[in-house]
Amino acid sequence: MKINLANIKKAKMLLNKGDCIAIPTETVYGLAGNAYSEHACKKIYKLKKRPNNNPLIIHYYDTKELAKDCHFNDTFLKLYKKFCPGPITFILDLKKDSQISKIATNKKNTLAVRFPKHPVTRHLLKKLKFPLAAPSANISTKVSAVSSANVKEDFGNKISFVLEGGKSTIGLESTIIDLRNNPKILRLGGLDVTKIQKLLNKKIIVKNNPKKIFTPGQSKLHYSPGIPVRLNIKKIRKDEAYLFLKKMKKTKPNYFFLSKNGNLDEAAKNLYSTLRKIKKFKYKSIAVHKIPNKGLGKTINDRLVRASKL
Ligand code: TXA
Ligand code: MG
């Protein structure tokens, strides 16, 4: 992707003065501000209507900058080498003298950190003198944004600038792994857990049971298109949109599909934009046909289950 330097310059200027802007990442767009600035972090919560007790992910260019804020361990370094930059977020111990805003961490002694792969945002991060706090750029509990147009739908002119980066190539939020003790997955995401297991050569616990909320991203209603979602449906109701993994030979106007041939990575990329499209067409609800629970299909199902809690 060709980098528009004038856009990077504008983004940098706005962030330097404590503004929030939207940034593209390979997972979803983020609503970003200076992670060292209390003022900027407060603004993020307000714009997103996000509860104060839900801490933010901090985005870094590389580990050089991160060393000021966190303690590393061997597992982190191993995963970092293999998967970063990329769709994985690490929970690490925060250093006592870290300058990260207490608003962003919700006064926890841990920090969620990520190294996004998107070339535009990497270019920006390299130019900044601070890391970026950035939750997904959507209104709290709603579907994340995977394009600049999605961000504008949610925030209109409430945010001063959306840094253009095209459509997010992965389309699902990062996988969150807690590395403080035995590695634990706190949120399924854009990096398939089996790839992590293979590298670490052990079974990794997935602790994202919505009944035991540890991280608010696990909370019951999330990723909601704003209309009811029903899962594993064989027979739809009147006025319902019908969502399939792959394109049907015989299609109807209310049929939507996530991929041409059933590829789960392609489906992940199209999930949020398709949910948003269906909502725009004013269907009353969405019936989802079965989606295989493997690879990124696991994350797709996780999001749809939470979206179905409306
Ligand atoms: O792909 C992504 O991760 C995107 C892009 C923009 O980077 N960001 C994203 O952020 O999804 P957000 O705020 O929508 O989700 C972050 C999740 C929340 O569920 C939050 O509770 C959790 O990370 N989190 C943040 N800090 C944490 C911490 N110290 N311990 C446990 N969970 C934490
Ligand atoms: Mg989010």
pLDDT given at position 1: 80
**100: which DSSP letter?**
S
Q: Is the CB of 134 under 6 A from ligand 1?
A: yes
Q: Is the CB of 148 under 6 A from ligand 1?
A: no
Q: Which structure tokens are listed for 48? A: 């997103």
Q: Is the CB of 30 under 6 A from ligand 1?
A: yes
Query: Is residue 216's pLDDT more than 80?
Result: no
Query: Is residue 275's pLDDT more than 90?
Result: yes
Could you tell me if 189 and 268 lie in one domain? no
3-class SS at 71?
A: coil
Contact yes or no for 186/208 (Cβ under 8 A): yes
Compute the mean pLDDT over every residue in the chain, rounded to the nearest whole number.
Answer: 94
Q: Which structure tokens are listed for 95? A: 């250093």
CA-proximal residue: ligand 1, atom 31 (nearest): 215
Element of type H or E holding 72:
none
Q: pTM of the entire structure?
A: 0.96
Distance CA 40, CA 24 (A): 18
Candidate from 20, 57, 115, 223 with most ligand 1 atoms within 8 A of CB, to mutate: 57
Q: Which structure tokens are listed for 169? A: 């190539």
Number of domains in the chain: 2
Q: Is the CB of 131 under 6 A from ligand 1?
A: no
Query: Is residue 50's pLDDT more than 50?
Result: yes
The answer to whether position 223 is within a domain reads: no
Residue 214: band (very low, low, confident or very high) from pLDDT cuts 50, 70, 90: very low
Could you tell me if 170 and 233 lie in one domain? no
Could you tell me if 73 and 132 lie in one domain? yes
Could you tell me if 300 and 198 lie in one domain? no
**69: which DSSP letter?**
T
3-class SS at 87?
A: coil
Query: Is residue 217's pLDDT more than 80?
Result: no
pLDDT given at position 212: 54
Could you tell me if 169 and 263 lie in one domain? no
Average of per-residue pLDDT across 207-211: 68
Residue 223: band (very low, low, confident or very high) from pLDDT cuts 50, 70, 90: confident
Q: How many CB atoms lie within 10 A of CB 179?
A: 18
Q: Which of 260, 241, 261, 262 is nearest to 252 (CA)?
A: 241
Could you tell me if 110 and 158 lie in one domain? yes
CATH number assigned to the domain comprising residue 138? 3.90.870.10
Average of per-residue pLDDT across 176-197: 96
The answer to whether position 82 is within a domain reads: yes
pLDDT given at position 154: 94
Q: What whole-number percentage of the chain has pLDDT above 90? A: 90
Residue 173: band (very low, low, confident or very high) from pLDDT cuts 50, 70, 90: very high
pLDDT given at position 10: 98
Q: How many CB atoms lie within 10 A of CB 39?
A: 14
Q: Which of 169, 271, 177 is nearest to 225 (CA)?
A: 271
Query: Is residue 37's pLDDT more than 60?
Result: yes
pLDDT given at position 107: 87
Residue 229: band (very low, low, confident or very high) from pLDDT cuts 50, 70, 90: very high
Could you tell me if 174 and 294 lie in one domain? no
Q: What is the pLDDT of residues 71-90, one digit of tens each?
A: 999 999 999 999 999 999 99
CATH number assigned to the domain comprising residue 259? 3.40.50.11030
Output the CA torsion sign for 101, 162, 9, 113. positive
Q: What is the pLDDT of residues 121-157, one digit of tens each?
A: 999 999 999 999 999 999 998 899 999 999 999 999 9
Could you tell me if 25 and 116 lie in one domain? yes
> How far away, in angstroms, is 63 Cα from ligand 1 center?
19
Q: What is the pLDDT of residues 95-122, one digit of tens each?
A: 999 999 999 999 899 999 999 999 999 9
Q: Residue 82 belongs to what domain range?
A: 5-206
- What length does the chain have? 310
Q: Is the CB of 145 under 6 A from ligand 1?
A: no
Boundary (domain end) residue, out of 206, 221, 255:
206
Could you tell me if 174 and 242 lie in one domain? no
Distance CA 266, CA 245 (A): 10
Residue 220: band (very low, low, confident or very high) from pLDDT cuts 50, 70, 90: low
